[in-house]
Amino acid sequence: MGNNTKALIRWKEVIIITILVRLLLFSIPLFFTPHLINLFDPWIRWDGPHYIEIAKHGYQTIGEPALFIVFYPFYPILIKAFNVLIGNYNLSAIIISWIFSIFASILLYELVLLDFNKRVALLSVWFLNIFPTAFFLQSAYTESLFLTTSLATVYFFRKGKIIQSGLAGALASMTRINGVLLLPILLTETKSVGKNLIAFILIPVGFFIYLLINYLTFKNPFYFSKVLSSHWYKHLTWPWISIQNLINFFQNQTGDYYYLFLAELITIFLLVIATILVYICVRKSYGIYMLLNLLLFTSTSFIMSTPRYTLILFPFFITLALIKNKIVLTLISTIFITLLFCLTYLYTQGRWAF
């Protein structure tokens, strides 16, 4: 009990920031959605119902559910497990995101403290929670879960807990393909590959499990790539080609889509700058992680959801936290909070918000 009390005291500010932002965002549809019957429906949009469908019925081979093979299995597994206790799939999906948003904030705080002071650690948590797409941390999406598992992978490794790091990494790569990109962080941080070999072996296991599911379901371990190409028009290509395609799309758009494509371009530009700053000012291994993720985001024929994908790039928030000028910090916070409330409103109203 004493250790739990000490932990709560240590993380008090982190938990308060995270929960307060979650509650404020949760209140938005209550004010703007007339005749709202279910409090959780506004938070289950777009990909959310697909994860819940997988949790209910597993991966299917016919009809529209066959397309859901592109979604990784760990989040649906957790939804199914929570549903056994709660008896409500939708509520289970939201509770998981809420819980893991707190875990992610705590792990980010602890990871930053390995290199910087408490001020930087708290500011990192602050910027994570008020980032314009931070509403995904409480939606039926994998952002909270992936942030938790990826941060745990890096934190445990840097603390010398190699098996725990590898297991967390395996769960990360069973949540999103980005989990495999944690390997270069560990390789850059290690002084002895042999001593830490178990972590390097475990991390891609989650991805191999996903490939096995593809094989068992469709007799092709890479079947998901066919679906991404045929249904989502996404296939691998050079980043400069993808960015040029994005610019072409942007020039031909009007209304809401004009601003959405503009946001994609602005985010990519900011990520390029942030990647350089992370490498120089934060940690080289984190900079490499940023670069590889940026290449992953942009090496596709149809760039989409970059502002949401940025949410999982924890080094980005550490870089922002290193800013010392209070006026700049206030300005960034104001811009982030304004965009966060606007995008949360769009998302909870069923409109596209990355």
Please name the residue ranges forming H helices in the chain.
2-10, 12-32, 48-57, 74-86, 89-113, 118-130, 143-158, 162-173, 183-189, 197-202, 205-218, 223-231, 239-251, 255-277, 284-298, 306-310, 314-321, 326-348
- Written as six digits, the tokens of 208 are 């191999």
pLDDT of residue 130: 98
Q: Tell me the pLDDT tens digit for each residue of 68-101.
A: 999 999 999 999 999 999 999 999 999 999 999 9
Lowest mean pLDDT among 28-42, 115-129, 190-204, 270-284: 28-42
pLDDT of residue 192: 80
Residue pair 221/212 in contact (Cβ under 8 Å)? The answer is: yes
Domains identified in the chain, total number: 1
Residue 36 pLDDT greater than 60, yes or no: yes
- Determine, yes or no, domain membership for 308: yes
What's the average model confidence in pLDDT over 124-147?
Answer: 98
- Determine, yes or no, domain membership for 296: yes
pLDDT of residue 217: 97
What's the average model confidence in pLDDT over 6-16?
Answer: 90
CA distance 300 to 328: 34
Instruction: For the chain, report the end-to-end CA distance as a whole number of angstroms.
Output: 42
pLDDT of residue 2: 66
- Determine, yes or no, domain membership for 85: yes
Task: Please give the distance of CA 302 from its chain centroid, rounded to a whole number.
Answer: 19
CA distance 197 to 52: 35
- Written as six digits, the tokens of 154 are 């890096």
pLDDT of residue 11: 95
Expressed as residue numbers, the domain containing 309 is: 2-348
Averaged pLDDT of the chain = 94
- Determine, yes or no, domain membership for 353: no
What's the average model confidence in pLDDT over 51-74?
Answer: 96
Phi-psi domain of 110 (left: phi exceeds 0; alpha: psi -120 through 50; beta: other)? alpha
Lowest mean pLDDT among 124-133, 226-235, 284-293: 226-235
Selection from 135, 97, 99, 129 nearest residue 321 by Cα: 129
CA distance 303 to 263: 12
CA distance 284 to 187: 11
- Determine, yes or no, domain membership for 38: yes
Selection from 260, 217, 242, 268 nearest residue 70 by Cα: 217
- Written as six digits, the tokens of 19 are 């929960």
Residue 7 pLDDT greater than 80, yes or no: no
Residue 311 pLDDT greater than 70, yes or no: yes
Which residues, including other chains, have CB under 8 Å from residue 59's CB and lie 6 or more apart? Answer: 65, 68, 69, 73, 213, 217
159 or 7: whose pLDDT is higher? 159
- As beta bridge partners, residue 236 has 300
Largest CA distance in the chain: 61
Residue 123 pLDDT greater than 80, yes or no: yes
At 9 the three-state DSSP class reads helix
Per-residue pLDDT band at 150 (split at 50, 70, 90) = very high
CA distance 42 to 33: 9
Lowest mean pLDDT among 3-12, 291-300, 328-337: 3-12
At 94 the three-state DSSP class reads helix
Instruction: Indicate whether this model's pTM tops 0.75.
Output: yes
Task: Kindly state the percentage of the chain with pLDDT values over 70.
Answer: 99
pLDDT of residue 343: 96
Per-residue pLDDT band at 138 (split at 50, 70, 90) = very high
pLDDT of residue 151: 98
- Determine, yes or no, domain membership for 354: no
Residue 26 pLDDT greater than 80, yes or no: yes
What's the average model confidence in pLDDT over 126-133?
Answer: 98
pLDDT of residue 1: 55
Residue 219 pLDDT greater than 80, yes or no: yes
CA distance 42 to 110: 32
Task: Kindly state the percentage of the chain with pLDDT values over 90.
Answer: 84
Q: Tell me the pLDDT tens digit for each residue of 225-280.
A: 999 999 888 889 999 999 998 888 777 777 777 888 899 999 999 999 999 999 99
